[in-house]
Structures are given as structure tokens and as C-alpha cells.
Amino acid sequence: AQAGQGFELHQPQDKVLVTVGETLTLTCTTSGDGPLGAVKWLKGWGSGNKTVYEQKGSFPRVTRVVSESNTDFSIRIKDVRSEDAGTYYCVKFSKSLTSVETFQHGKGTVVSLHETALVHSVVATAVVFCFLLLGLFVALCMYRRKHRGEEESQCLAMGSFLPIPLQCCAGTPSTTSKVLDAETSHLPSQQSSKEDNDIHYADLQPLPTAPQHSRSPSAGCSEYASIRVAAK
């Protein structure tokens, strides 16, 4: 007891932030003559504490910073894991013939982990989301281009290949051509000439109205058409 009167234990670190996978260093030093007994590192306090390091025992991830020192009991924990987060205490025990008791302990060091794995997962998720948006945009552009091409092809087919009934008015050398259908009344009047006596006129019926999805005015179908051919 008299030997322990000048003993002091120093645990200077209040908080430590460490990254998963790195090495954690916990500092603990002593001064003066202490009673007979070991110095240990405990995680947590009370009945739920866990021995992190002591001289006797096997602790594969934990080593002393200065081995065999009687005053420096600092330790290193390599390959830090998520379960290593918590509060650590450097404790000096007093050993007697009948019992082992806590003689002095540090104020505790709170260890927090910087979860790089979580940061990486967030970054990876953001990258995947950006690629999905880009793919959706490209697919939408391709669909619109394909749909526009189908409309133009349909328009050409309707104007060139579909059979459309004709209502014609015929002219003969002795008579003047007359319009037989009211839809042909919009045609410009033909000037009579000697050449017109040998020409037949025909007026096409209005084409079926096609959906107008194209933004370009030139992509729409013509609604009316007229032809003039030489008589055989």
C-alpha cells in the first residue's frame, strides 16, 4: 500500500477516430512504484467488459508498442474491424494473496470508426444510378428516332403504294373537261389551248389523315394531289 501511494496511470486519449482496416494505437503510461499486479486493457466497464490485452494470453491482433516495458503499456490493434468500436480502459490491478482488485484505471478512450466501406458503397450506388439514367436516356432517344422513322415510312407508303380510288373527269377534242366531284373544285382553272384537247385530267381523292407526330413540317403527308397525263 505504501508503494502504491506515488503511483499514477496516464491514459491521455479521450477520443480516437480510425478507419476500418487500419492500425489503432492506444496510449497508456505509468509513473511511480505501484503494487504487485498486472496492467491490462479492457473494452467496456463493469460486468460486460472484455480483456483486450494482458501479458498472459494470446491476442493475435494486439501488440505492445514497447515490449517488456514497465512504464509504457501502450498497445496497437491492427486490422481494425467494425466490432472494435467502443471505450477502452487501461487498468492497473493490485494482487494480494487472496484476491485481485482494481487499483487504478484511466478515464477511458472512445474509439470511433470511419466506415470507408459505407462511403464506397454510397459512391458505387451513385455511379450505378448515373449509368442507369444515361442508359435510359439513350434508349429513349433510340425509341423516338425509330418511331419517327416508322412514321415517315408509313407516310411514304400511304402516298406511293396504297390503292386510292380516283374520280376523274375526261375531256374530248369536242368537249371541255368538267369536274365530276366537288372535291376537285379547288383545282386551278386550266387555260384552254390547242394542246389541252389531247390531255386528260384526273383528281385524286383526299388521302387518309395520318397522325402528325413529327416536329418537322416537311415530315407530314400531303392531303391532296392532282396529275395530268397525255392521252394515249
Query: Taking the domains of the chain in order of start, what are their residue ranges?
Result: 8-114
pLDDT at 166: 46
Question: pLDDT digit string (tens) for 119-154?
Answer: 666 677 888 878 888 888 888 888 888 877 766 666
CA atoms in the 13 A half-sphere facing the CB of 179:
14
**Integer Rg of the chain from CA:** 48
Cut 0.85: pTM above it: no
Percent of the chain predicted with pLDDT > 70: 59
Q: Where do we find the cell 390547242?
A: 194
**Taking the chain, what is the end-to-end CA distance rounded to the nearest angstrom?**
136
Q: How far is Cα 77 from Cα 26, in angstroms, rounded to an integer?
A: 8
Q: What's the mean per-residue pLDDT of the chain?
A: 76
Pick the CATH number of 8-114 from 3.40.50.1000, 2.60.40.10, 2.40.10.500, 1.20.1260.10: 2.60.40.10
217-227 CB burial, b ≥16 within 10 A, e <16? eeeebeeeeee
pLDDT at 22: 95
